[in-house]
């Protein structure tokens, strides 16, 4: 049993599912704040200190959610019985804006065919 499996083994499946769904949404929201607000603000206010501070803060928060999402994909694979293709798709979706919402709505379900 590796470190990540050992860490998540003390939590129930329901709790991990709840965390995974929340992180999917939080990662997408932080991505929107980073790309849709902070970077546009920085472009129109290049000398502004507030825009730089906002980018640093939102960028760090987005990086945290991104990392947690990748970590939660591992126990979610076992819970949702994803095959290798689904698992790789879930991992790659972290690199595309708002794709984690699709993973939450379509891939992270028990009744999918």
Q: Cβ of 46: how many Cβ atoms within 10 Å? A: 8
Distance CA 25, CA 53 (A): 23
pLDDT value of residue 22: 96
Residue 70, classed as helix, strand or coil, is: helix
- Token digits for 51? 């825009």
Q: How far is CA 104 from CA 66, 78, 95, 112, in A?
A: 14, 15, 15, 12
Domain extent listing, the chain: 14-107
Distance between CA 34 and CA 54 in Å, rounded? 9
pTM of the model: 0.88
pLDDT in tens, the chain (113 residues): 578 788 888 889 999 999 999 999 999 999 999 999 988 988 888 788 898 899 999 999 999 999 999 999 999 999 999 999 999 999 999 999 899 999 998 888 877 66
């Amino acid at each position: 049993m590796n470190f990540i499996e050992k860490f998540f083994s003390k939590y129930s499946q329901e709790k991990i599912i709840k965390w995974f769904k929340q992180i999917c949404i939080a990662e997408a929201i932080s991505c929107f704040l980073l790309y849709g607000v902070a970077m546009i603000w920085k472009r129109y206010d290049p000398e502004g200190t507030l825009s730089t501070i906002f980018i640093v803060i939102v960028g760090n928060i987005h990086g945290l959610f991104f990392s947690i999402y990748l970590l939660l994909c591992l126990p979610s694979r076992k819970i949702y019985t994803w095959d290798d293709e689904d698992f790789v798709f879930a991992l790659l979706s972290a690199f595309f804006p708002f794709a984690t919402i699709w993973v939450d709505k379509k891939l992270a379900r028990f009744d999918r065919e």
